[in-house]
A = this chain, B = another copy of it.
Amino acid sequence: MTKTLERREKLRSDLIQAAERMIAERGLAGLKTRDLAREIGCANGAVYNLVADVDELVLRVGSRTLRRLDDALSTAETGEPSPRETLVRIAIAYCDFAAENLQLWRALFEHRMETDKALPDWSVDDQLQLFRHIYKPLAALLPKRGAEELGITARSLFSAVHGMVALGLEQRLVAVPLPALRKEIAGLVRAMIDGLITREQAASPD
């Protein structure tokens, strides 16, 4: 009885790993059900016994990528006493992760579900976890801010770094060499933090 269940689970796991490998090697657009089926040794149609459609598959791969990214950021935030430098390290870690997992990281943002098909909950949850890395060090630096406001600022800071990484790693424009990009990010993160602190202490001079 459990025999086919086990087999299914094994196959499903193989499928997701194969999809991950394929995206990493050929990009999101290079993911093909027939190639996947061949790799895991089943019929093309059998893929749809394991996942509902390719959207789900991409989301499952994304979930794994987000978990690894989360781990990378967790590592970056340990053992650094200064909250300011912790934030810098997290930003650099984000940049490094994106560079080392370029296609998988891009897939997180490139993928679009067909209109109005909602994301499953388990996928949404993953994503919201990312901001939490920034929250604690930021709270230490901006003691006057409330939880709500801090959450928003954390999100903004994350987004700003994301933008620098996204455009910095884009091949189309002048590609920035990675060391230069890391330096730029560190500089702008420090500037943002300093600016936020200054503006918190002063009465927000617009």
20 contacts between A and B (CB under 8 A): A26-B115, A27-B115, A128-B174, A152-B176, A152-B180, A155-B176, A156-B188, A159-B163, A159-B166, A159-B167, A160-B161, A188-B196, A190-B206, A191-B192, A191-B196, A191-B198, A191-B199, A194-B195, A194-B199, A195-B198
Within 8 A of B (CB), among A112-133: 112, 114-115, 119, 124, 127-128
Q: A47 an interface residue at 8 Å Cβ cutoff?
A: no
Q: Which of A114, A156, A198, A199 has the most CB of B within 10 A?
A: A156
> Closest CB of chain B to A154's CB: distance in Å?
11
> Is A99's CB within 8 Å of the partner chain B?
no
Given known A112-B29, A195-B198, A196-B191, contact A119–B156 (CB-CB < 8 A): no
A103 to chain B, nearest CB (A): 11
Please pick, from B156, B173, B193, the residue contacting A128 in the complex, using a CB distance under 8 A: B173
Contacting pair A157 B188 (CB below 8 A): yes
Chain multiplicity (copies): 2
- Cα–Cα distance between A167 and B128 once the two chains are bound (Å): 12
A96 within 8 A of B: no
Interface centre among A119, A185, A187, A191 (most CB of B within 10 A): A191
Contact in complex: A190, B195 (CB < 8 Å): yes
CA distance A205 to B63 in the complex (A): 38
Q: Mark A132-167, 1 if CB is under 8 A from B, else 0.
A: 000000000000000000001101111111111011
Which residue of B is nearest A151, CB measured? B174
Q: In the complex, what distance in Å separates the CA atom of A168 from the CA atom of B160? A: 10
Asked if B164 contacts A156 (CB within 8 A), the reply is: yes
